[in-house]
């Protein structure tokens, strides 16, 4: 057994020794493509969504020279009619491109691959005729062994995601892939199938795909591979029941990737890390480059700063992903940036609505941490304004609070939606979007004899007071709906009662605006709770 040729089943055996969520149905999907025109598959999904697990599973199942039946006989694939026909029947070409770059360099990776694969082929099949071209050598190995190869290429797009990679290196790399998978004279003789994983879809070369024969399954359009993109709701519910974990908390932290026909999809790495540590928190930075999100948030694309704020307060924003050219170096619009962030897992795409949003609490924390380091001028201004608004509220500077809320309300809502009952609530969330460092945001919190509109609950290490905010829209028919009326409602219905055991410092914030006034004047009253 080698590392790059016929690596055996040891890696998957180690995985089976731990807790393993059965995704072996993927094998049946690949089996049904073997030796057919659609035998080349490229599956792209975010980092830590089980790409390497799948690659190791496929290696163990297909690899000749080992007995993998004990690893699969109790899994879903064992019930598939194709199971025994392909079990341990193929030569394997196994390439982890990210690992190879780490062992060699971007400039040397192709010569490294050819040298290592060639050495192993000559060792396994000494009678193979020598040649310098990897495609020809694989063909010679097929002739000697009588068995075709299954190519399993993990992190195929690692060079494109490397900031040191040049256009020349990418061109040479794509030519290498073409030599294996674009020439039918070689491809059909050598490969029974190929399974390639990455984060990005296959790069477009001009108007054509660089290796167009691959069938693509992406996080935006996973097709028949959808059940194997991540953990489904049923997967996570079963894990929570087995390990006595709070499903609601698991959903709050790691749910949010919605796939048509599947529903909720969870990040497998984060779910398993939370179970192992028995702690809900963000495991994202520990498994990805912490600078990658900040890099894209800093891009100077028109409208991106405003869109970022909307995303951070929980809004969905429109996205047209169809013009994206699958190249991080060619980001020409806000849509390109948002599409790339979706492929990286920083956003969740709703195919039916054609919108994106921040999927869950884990990713919201990543945005909250990154936004304080952005250099994009528009975003910096909004961050500063939001931080100042929180200070003004805590210091009970009601006039300053009213002025900022009126400014945000006017900036964000046109005449058609300005008086919508949700517009003032949206204004509050947009204005206080930087709350994450100091507060938890709660909407319609039950307290006393009703529901407070918005409550900002200070974190344990925060010096800020709790905020109970009531919103009112004043007009001629409702003259009592002023800021004083909002404060009166908070008091009459005892909204702060639920917070008394949590903190003694509570501010009541009444906010109103005059729908009939030409300038839609906003007013604010802030009082300390003395309950």
What is the rounded CA–CA span in Å between residue 437 and residue 459?
A: 8
Spans of all domains in the chain: 10-226, 231-281, 287-375, 379-528
What is the rounded CA–CA span in Å between residue 488 and residue 439?
A: 24
CB 26 within 8 A of CB 198: no
Q: Which of 443, 441, 418 is nearest to 513 (CA)?
A: 418
What is the rounded CA–CA span in Å between residue 382 and residue 429?
A: 13
Tokens (6 digits) for 132: 């310098």
pLDDT of the residue at 280: 93
CB atoms within 10 A of CB 63: 25
pLDDT of the residue at 348: 93
CA dihedral 235, 238, 242, 244 (to 10 degrees): 100
What are phi and psi for residue 208, nearest 5 degrees?
-115, 155
Look up tokens 């179970």; give the residue. Answer: 275
CB 528 within 8 A of CB 490: no
What is the rounded CA–CA span in Å between residue 66 and residue 7?
A: 10
What burial class does residue 415 get, using C-beta atoms within 10 Å of its C-beta: 0-12 exposed, 13-18 middle, 19+ buried? exposed
How far is residue 513 from each of residues 230, 297, 395, 409, 414, measured CA to CA in Å?
A: 46, 33, 21, 10, 15
Work out the end-to-end distance of the chain between its first and last CA atoms, rounded to an integer number of angstroms: 74
CB 218 within 8 A of CB 224: no
Residue 345 Rama label (left phi>0; alpha psi -120 to 50; beta): left
Please give the CATH topology (third level) of the domain spanning 379-528.
Trna Endonuclease; Chain: A, domain 1 (3.40.1350)
Look up tokens 């170096």; give the residue. Answer: 329
What is the rounded CA–CA span in Å between residue 152 and residue 41?
A: 10
Q: What is the 3-state secondary structure (H, E, C) of 200-245?
A: CCCCEECCEECCCCCEEECCCCCHHHHHHCCEEHHHHHHHHHHHCC
Q: Which residues contact 230 (CB under 8 A, 6 or more apart)?
A: 45, 49, 50, 257, 265, 266, 267, 268
Helices of type H across 345-419: 361-371, 377-394, 398-412, 415-418
CB 490 within 8 A of CB 448: no
What is the rounded CA–CA span in Å between residue 148 and residue 191?
A: 5
**What is the full per-residue pLDDT of the chain (531 aa) written as tens digits?**
789 999 999 999 999 998 999 999 999 999 999 999 999 999 998 888 888 889 999 999 999 999 999 999 999 999 999 999 999 999 999 999 999 998 998 999 999 999 999 999 999 999 999 999 999 999 999 999 999 999 999 999 888 888 788 888 988 998 899 889 876 678 899 999 999 999 888 765 544 445 678 899 998 888 889 899 899 999 999 999 999 999 999 999 999 898 888 889 999 999 999 999 999 998 887 544 444 676 666 666 666 777 877 887 778 999 988 878 776 667 778 888 899 899 989 999 998 889 999 999 899 888 877 766 665 556 667 778 888 999 999 999 999 999 999 888 888 776 555 666 577 778 888 888 777 778 888 877 666 556 778 888 888 788 899 999 988 887 777 778 888 999 998 888 888 877 877 888 999 999 988 877 777 789 999 999 876
Q: Which of 256, 260, 283 is nearest to 271 (CA)?
A: 283
DSSP 465: P
What is the rounded CA–CA span in Å between residue 341 and residue 370?
A: 14
What is the rounded CA–CA span in Å between residue 258 and residue 349?
A: 7
pLDDT of the residue at 185: 75
Look up tokens 């030796």; give the residue. Answer: 35
CB 355 within 8 A of CB 335: no
Radius of gyration for the alpha carbons in the chain, expressed in angstroms and rounded: 28
Q: Which residues contact 448 (CB under 8 A, 6 or more apart)?
A: 493, 494, 495, 496, 497, 498
- Given the candidates 1.10.246, 1.10.357, 1.10.238, 3.40.50, the CATH classification of the domain at 10-226 is 3.40.50
Do 10-226 and 379-528 have matching folds? no
Q: Which of 62, 112, 56 is nearest to 82 (CA)?
A: 62
Q: Which of 176, 214, 221, 170 is nearest to 195 (CA)?
A: 214
How far is residue 63 from each of residues 55, 60, 128, 177, measured CA to CA in Å?
A: 12, 6, 19, 22
């Amino acid at each position: 057994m080698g590392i790059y040729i016929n690596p055996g089943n040891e890696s998957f055996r180690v995985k089976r020794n731990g807790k393993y969520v059965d995704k072996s149905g993927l094998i049946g999907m690949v089996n049904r493509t073997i030796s057919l025109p659609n035998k080349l598959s490229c599956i792209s999904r975010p980092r830590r969504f089980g790409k390497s697990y799948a690659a190791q599973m496929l290696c163990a199942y297909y690899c000749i020279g080992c007995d993998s039946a004990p690893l699969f006989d109790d899994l879903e694939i064992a019930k598939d009619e194709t199971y025994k026909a392909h079990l341990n029947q193929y030569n394997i070409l196994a390439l982890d491109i990210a690992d190879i770059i780490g062992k060699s360099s971007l400039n040397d990776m192709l010569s490294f691959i050819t040298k290592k694969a060639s050495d192993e082929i000559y060792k396994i099949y000494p009678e193979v005729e020598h040649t310098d071209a990897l495609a020809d050598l694989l063909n010679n190995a097929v002739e000697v062994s009588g068995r075709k190869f299954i190519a399993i290429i993990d992190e195929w797009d690692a060079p494109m995601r490397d900031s040191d990679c040049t256009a020349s290196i990418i061109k040479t790399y794509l030519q290498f892939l073409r030599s294996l998978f674009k020439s039918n004279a070689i491809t059909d003789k050598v490969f029974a199938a190929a399974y390639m994983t990455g984060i990005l879809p296959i790069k477009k070369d001009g108007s054509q795909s660089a290796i167009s024969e691959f069938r693509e399954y992406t996080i935006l359009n996973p097709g028949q591979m959808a059940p194997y993109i991540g953990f489904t709701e049923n997967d996570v519910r079963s894990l929570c029941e087995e390990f006595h974990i709070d499903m609601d908390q698991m959903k709050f932290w790691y749910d949010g990737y919605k796939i048509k026909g599947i529903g909720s999809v969870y990040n497998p790495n984060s779910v398993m890390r939370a179970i192992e540590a028995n702690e809900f928190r963000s495991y994202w930075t520990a498994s990805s480059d912490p600078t990658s999100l900040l890099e894209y948030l800093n891009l100077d694309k028109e409208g991106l700063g405003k869109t970022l704020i909307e995303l951070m307060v929980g809004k969905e924003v429109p996205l047209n992903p169809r013009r994206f050219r699958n190249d991080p170096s060619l980001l020409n619009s806000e849509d390109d940036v948002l599409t790339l962030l979706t492929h990286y897992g920083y956003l969740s795409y709703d195919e039916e609505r054609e919108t994106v949003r921040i999927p869950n609490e884990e990713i919201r924390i990543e945005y909250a941490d990154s936004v304080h380091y952005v250099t994009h001028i528009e975003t910096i201004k909004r961050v500063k304004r939001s931080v100042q608004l929180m200070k003004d509220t805590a210091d009970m500077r009601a006039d300053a609070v009213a002025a900022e809320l009126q400014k945000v309300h006017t900036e964000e809502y046109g005449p058609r939606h300005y008086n919508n009952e949700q517009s003032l609530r949206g204004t509050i969330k947009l204005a206080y979007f930087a709350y994450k460092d100091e507060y938890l945001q709660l909407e319609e919190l039950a307290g006393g004899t009703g529901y407070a509109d918005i409550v900002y609950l200070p974190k344990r290490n925060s010096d800020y007071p709790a905020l109970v905010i009531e919103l009112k829209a004043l007009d001629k028919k409702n003259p009592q709906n002023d800021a004083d009326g909002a404060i009166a409602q908070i008091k009459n219905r005892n909204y702060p009662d639920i917070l008394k055991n949590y903190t003694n410092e509570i501010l009541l914030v009444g906010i109103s605006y005059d729908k009939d006034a030409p300038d839609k004047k906003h007013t604010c009253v802030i009082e300390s709770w003395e309950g």
